[in-house]
Amino acid sequence: MSDSSIHKSIYLKATPAEVWAYLTEPEKLAIWFHKPDETLVEGSYAMYGAESGDKLMWGDVQVAEPFTRLEYTFTITPMGDAISTVKWVLEEVTGGTRLSLTHEGLPQGQEAFGLLLALDKGWDDHMGRMRADLHAE
3 burial level (CB within 10 Å; 0-12, 13-18, 19+): exposed
The domain ranges of the chain are 6-136
- The DSSP code for 75 is B
Q: How large is the average pLDDT for residues 104-132? A: 91
Q: Which of 26-30, 101-105, 112-116 has the lowest mean pLDDT?
A: 112-116
pLDDT tens-digit map of 30-56 = 999 999 999 999 999 999 987 788 899
CATH number, domain 6-136, options 3.30.1330.10, 3.30.530.20, 3.40.50.300, 3.40.1710.10: 3.30.530.20
